[in-house]
């Protein structure tokens, strides 16, 4: 008996040169056997699924003047598992950036932080009080509950309240706006990220943490990043875990984004950390304790967890001074960074930002 194989579907983002061509797009999909999954109003795009590249060609054949096709890029999370069940109340990373030294100076002002990730455990006692809203952009999922753990860990670093006599985050005065754009296997697509970006922008978040990466880019991805920058939203991303020179991934590679590499407890670059001229800052990213699923805590490593150290630092900056435009944030952060003697410039950028140096 012949063994049946299931072929992976191909996802594309198709934009129209003229909005009135939607009917034409639907006809093209019907002709090629393609399926329209959802609209992306932010970029005037349509996420479409095909059985093969041949079907894609059939759908857009000789129609370059009416349709533009981009890959629905796949992203990966920038982390390594390292289970640990009895974390300290204050992680070493928070100690290293000097977070406890400025807690008494924090105000009641809430900072609106967007997280695009695997969702969040909204029942976690150290997080639930800081969760303002959330959405899932994944097909067939309507809840933003984290079923992978990565997003919960990110949120815990930025803003755990410590109310459960558990972990305390860098800035407990944050309001989380959470986008679940990565599934239970830690996989995500550009289209789901774009939909999440649109949702976050309409809720006027001040910072967006992006602890994911891809080696590829396209015009739509660049367009979205430029849009967020024009909105005055500060963007922070993990540099990536490729562990080589000139290996900073997207979105960290975009000039509008703060790219963060990872260091260990000894101020050495993590062996897995990407590095390159695009790196802006380094931050703790090895054996980082934080919140986990079902109210637990675990330790993880990756540039995924260096990025939220910088996000939490910027949230603290906003708490103390009020909202600042991205250019002013960049200026203050560069002045507050300490160059680490063990690292080259492409490994650390301006260096490690220590909170007592920018919160006076």
Q: What is the DSSP letter of 200?
A: H
Q: Which of these is catalytic: 191, 213, 274, 304?
A: 304
Structure tokens at 135: 């959405």
Backbone angles phi, psi at 150, to 5 degrees: -60, -50
Known catalytic residue: 150? yes
Q: What is the DSSP letter of 216?
A: -
**Complete edge-to-edge strand list for the sheet that includes strand 212-213:** 187-189, 74-77, 212-213
Q: Which of these is catalytic: 72, 117, 121, 198?
A: 117
What DSSP string runs through 221-244?
HHHHHHHHHHTT-EEEEE--S--S
Known catalytic residue: 153? no
- Residue 129 CA to residue 127 CA, distance in Å, equals 6
- Residue 186 CA to residue 181 CA, distance in Å, equals 9
Q: Are strands 257-263 and 337-338 parallel, antiparallel or unpaired?
A: unpaired
What number of other Cβ atoms are within 10 A of residue 164's Cβ? 15
What DSSP string runs through 12-71?
EEEEESSGGGHHHHHHHHHHHT-EEEEEETTTTEEEEEESSHHHHHHHHTT-TTTEEEEE
- Residue 92 CA to residue 271 CA, distance in Å, equals 18
Cβ atoms of residues 352 and 337 within 8 Å: yes
Known catalytic residue: 229? no
146-160 burial: b if 16+ Cβ within 10 Å, else e? bbbbbbbbbbbbbbb
Q: Which of these is catalytic: 150, 198, 290, 301?
A: 150
Backbone angles phi, psi at 272, to 5 degrees: -85, -15
Active site residues: 117, 150, 304
């Amino acid at each position: 008996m012949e063994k049946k194989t299931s072929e992976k579907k191909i996802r594309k983002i198709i934009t129209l040169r003229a909005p009135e061509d939607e009917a034409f797009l639907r006809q093209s999909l019907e002709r090629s056997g393609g399926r329209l999954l959802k609209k992306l109003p932010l970029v005037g795009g349509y996420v479409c699924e095909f059985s093969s590249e041949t079907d894609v060609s059939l759908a857009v054949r000789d129609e370059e003047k009416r349709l533009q096709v981009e890959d629905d890029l796949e992203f990966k999370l920038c982390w390594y598992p390292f289970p640990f069940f009895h974390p300290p109340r204050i992680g070493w990373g928070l100690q290293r950036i000097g977070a406890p030294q400025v807690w008494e100076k924090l105000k009641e002002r809430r900072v609106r932080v967007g997280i695009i990730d695997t969702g969040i455990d909204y029942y976690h006692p150290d997080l639930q009080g800081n969760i303002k809203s959330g959405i899932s952009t994944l097909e067939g999922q309507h809840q933003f509950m984290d079923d992978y753990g990565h997003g919960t860990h990110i949120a815990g670093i930025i803003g755990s309240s410590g109310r459960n006599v558990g972990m305390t985050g860098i800035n407990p005065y944050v309001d989380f706006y959470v986008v679940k754009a990565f599934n239970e296997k830690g996989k995500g697509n550009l289209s789901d990220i774009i939909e999440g970006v649109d949702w976050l922008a309409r809720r006027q978040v001040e910072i967006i943490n992006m602890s994911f990466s891809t080696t590829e880019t396209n015009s739509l991805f660049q367009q979205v990043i430029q849009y967020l920058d024009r909105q005055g939203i500060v963007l922070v991303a993990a540099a990536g875990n490729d562990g080589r020179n000139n290996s900073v991934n997207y979105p960290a590679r975009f000039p509008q984004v703060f790219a963060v590499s990872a260091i260990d407890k000894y101020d050495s670059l993590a062996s897995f950390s990407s590095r390159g001229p695009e790196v802006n800052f380094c931050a703790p990213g090895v054996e980082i304790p934080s919140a986990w699923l079902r109210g637990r805590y675990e330790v993880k490593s990756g540039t995924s967890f260096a990025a939220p150290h910088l996000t939490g630092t910027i949230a603290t900056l906003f708490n103390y001074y009020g909202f600042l435009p991205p250019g002013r944030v960049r200026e203050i952060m560069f002045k507050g960074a300490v160059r680490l003697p063990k690292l080259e410039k492409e490994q650390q950028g301006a260096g490690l930002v220590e909170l007592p140096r920018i919160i006076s």
